[in-house]
Every structure is written in structure tokens, then in C-alpha cells.
Homo-oligomer: A and B are copies of this chain.
Amino acid sequence: MLRRLLPLMMLTAAPALADDVTTFTLDNGMEVVVIEDHRAQAVVHMVWYKAGSADEPLGSSGVAHFLEHLMFKATDTMASGQLSAVVAANGGDDNAFTSYDYTAYFQRVAADRLDLMMQMEADRMNNLALTEDDITTERQVILEERAQRTENNPNAIAREQIRAALFMNHRYGLPIIGWEHEMRQLDMADVHAWYDTYYSPNDAILIVAGDVRPDEVLAMAQAHYGPIPSEPTLPARLRPEEPPQRAERRLIYADPRVSQPYLTRSYLAPERDPGDQTAAAALVYLAEVLGGSSFTSVLGEKLTFDTQTAIFTGAGYDGDTLDDGTFSLTVVPAEGISLQTAEAAMDTAIADFLTTGPEMAQMERIRTQLLASEIYAKDSVEGLARRYGAALSIGLSVQDVQDWPDVLQAVTAQEVLDAARALFNPDHAVTGWVVPSREEL
């Protein structure tokens, strides 16, 4: 427990903090990553498939997420729901998630139950036994999920429309959950084509984190995952890239359920690249510099604090992606302030920033925050497992993950300014106004 108590200032120099990671590759191509953490007798067991919604075939949006649901149905030897029931009966919990670039399954249990987890996860990687009834039932479930998460939420609809306008060619422009009209068409053939191609050891990464020893994990992985044949027709992961984006785009989403008009602008932004994470790290700072704190961030200070133009400002960067990610700005104008005025104020604040760059004090504040959050992150075994799984699924290496905190610490004010200047091209962005009705514009 000692390292949790070290004072912040000492931590940069502490090599003992490097994660204790061992990697293997099984003969069938499955990657194995073991993260040792013996603080508690628990283990997190995850399988990540390097296939997400952006890998889906034309016209089959949502199939990655649909299969994620169906993976909890019966296999040749397990009943529907049995895996989760067994995990719960063993005092653990389990879940799954689908993203643009990957689909992942995990269980958290006592360390001595790892073998059982592998047995069940390997079973459903290879022996899923879906029925037409499963397809029909679960399709209703995902449609209902879409209704709840997207259709019932004007902000989610606005985000969906903005992404669709931002990406002209790349499948990041489609929602992970799928377009409703395509979800309705998903059938057994779509699901099986996806499962048979991607749910294969040579497309999977096994992450085991916790109170385990690498040699034991390897032996277990060989026993359970080793016999599954690799998929010879696994396609190269080449997705359609964006053409040059040459026109400044805007949209207005009007929905009576919008209680508070706001504007949000999304830019295409470079992602973290293997061996080359500096630009992405600079954008992490930029999001904090522009939209982090209401008091000290550029937008917070100028729009909220100084002029009361806005009641909220924010900035976000998502570069944990295989291809180009996004950088977003959001401004919620104060009562009586039009979106036009608020947007002009935002643009002025950014233009001013592009001449001055970040203040040193601000850089140091963020540097310290990032150092602290990197340290806190190590406290969660599940968080660590997710971090490695997500990174490896988007083409980063274990080394990239381990370098990331240092790359973050080394970012300079000039790099943040350079990243901002490269980022803020109006032709690479969509500005959305989200309003209760068009008449009020």
C-alpha cells in the first residue's frame, strides 16, 4: 500500500511505479497481457476484440453492439445467462462494452476463480449457439436501448447528427449503437458473419490484471484459449479515411425537449499514435487549458467569469481512437445572450489564445493534475486493465501506455499552442446549435 501514500512531488522519479506488465502471444495469435497487482486477492479478466462499430460492413450499423448483447446467450454447453449467473454466484461481476474500435468483455472475481472465467469466456468465443428467437428478442432490446439512450435525449440526437456531418467518409460518423433502420434489419447472417470473422483468437487481446502470476496465466490461457483456431480470413484493419475537409459546416438541431439552447463545435483531431503521442498529449492539455476549470480556463474565465456571457463552457478531446478523433467545444449562453453572441465570444477567446498560448501557471497546474490522476489511476486494477486493453485495441503498444504519463508530463506550452494552431481549422469542424425551436433563432 505504501506507494499510495507517497507525496506528489516524489512520484515523477519513482521507477517502482511502472506497471508490472508481462506479455505473451499464443500460437493462434491471441495476445496475452498480464498486469500484476497483488494488493488484493482479486483479478480482472478481459477479452478485447479489435473490432468495433467503425469496422462494420455497409448497411449493418449496430452489429458489433448487437453481438455484444448476444454473447450472453447460450453456448453449446452453457445456458443463456449462465455466465453472468456463475460470475455472480462466485461473488464477482461482469459486463461488456462496444466502442468504435473494439468490443470487450470482462469479469472481476476472486483470483482463484480465474480458470473458471477463462473457461467460460473461451467457450463463448467459439461455441455461441444462437437461436432465431435470441435474434428477435435481443433486437428488441437494442432497439429499446437506442430509444432510451438516443431518441429520448435531444443532446444525444444532436451529437449523432454532428458526428454524421463531421465524418464525410469514415465510419466514426455512424452511431455505435447503429442507425435504427439498419438495426431493424440485423439478422442471424449479419451476426454470424461478424462473430465468425472477428471473434477469433488472432483478433483478440486477453488482459488479466490483479493477484496473478504471469506463468500461471499463460498456462491457463494456453489451456482454454490455445485450442481455438485462428481465423485465416481476418481482414486487415483498413478503414475508409477522410478526404480533405474543405468546407466549414454548421447545423441547427431544433427539438422542443431542449431546455437550454447551447452551441457545440467538433473538430477532427489527431489521435494517439504508436510511438508518437506528443500531439495527442498536447491536445489533452489544450482541452484543459480552454475548457477545464470555470475559473482558470480560457473559456471559463472569459465567457463565464469575466463577462457572464455563458453559464457553462467546456472542451473535450477524444484521441483514444485508431483513426482521427475529435476535439469539441461547448458553450451554454447565459440568459438573454444569443447563440450568435456566445459563439462570437468563443471565437474571439480562441483567436486571442492563438496569439498568446497558454499561461505557464496554467500549464503547471494541469501538469500536476495529470500527474495526480495518472497516480490515482493506478489504484484501480480494473482501470489499469481497461487502459491497456483499450490502448492495445487501437494499435498502441504496452510501451506506449507506459510512456504516456511521461509524454504527458513533458508537454510544453509551445506544443499546446502548435497543436491548437493545427487543430482550429474551420474547414475541419462542424458547429451545432441545439435549440428548442428554430423560431427563436
Contact = CB atoms under 8 A, between A and B. Distances in A.
Interface of A: 57-59, 61, 157-158, 161-162, 164-165, 168-169, 171, 173-174, 179-182, 238-241, 243-254, 426, 432, 438
A63 to B, nearest CB: 13
B169 A179 contact: yes
Contacts of A164: 168-169, 243
Contacts of A239: 58-59
The prevalent SS among residues of A at the interface is: mixed
A255 to B, nearest CB: 8
A249 B247 contact: no
Contacts of A158: 247
A253 B243 contact: no
A241 B169 contact: no
Contacts of A161: 168, 245-247
A247 B238 contact: no
A181 B162 CA distance: 24
B243 A181 contact: yes
A102 to B, nearest CB: 18
A173 B162 CA distance: 16
A60 to B, nearest CB: 9
B180 A243 contact: yes
A58 B249 contact: no
A407 to B, nearest CB: 28
A178 to B, nearest CB: 9
A159 to B, nearest CB: 11
Nearest to A245: B161
A174 B169 contact: yes
Contact of A251 (B174, B181, B238, B247): B247
Contacts of A244: 180
A241 B244 CA distance: 24
Given A169-B164, A426-B438, A179 B253 contact: no
A250 B249 CA distance: 6
A108 to B, nearest CB: 36
Contacts of A179: 169, 243
10 contacts: A58-B171, A61-B169, A162-B247, A182-B240, A247-B432, A248-B251, A248-B254, A249-B250, A249-B251, A426-B438
B180 A173 contact: no
A250 B161 CA distance: 13
A178 B241 CA distance: 12
Closest A-B pairs by Cβ, 3 of them: A179-B243, A164-B168, A161-B247
A100 to B, nearest CB: 15
Contacts of A252: 247-248, 426
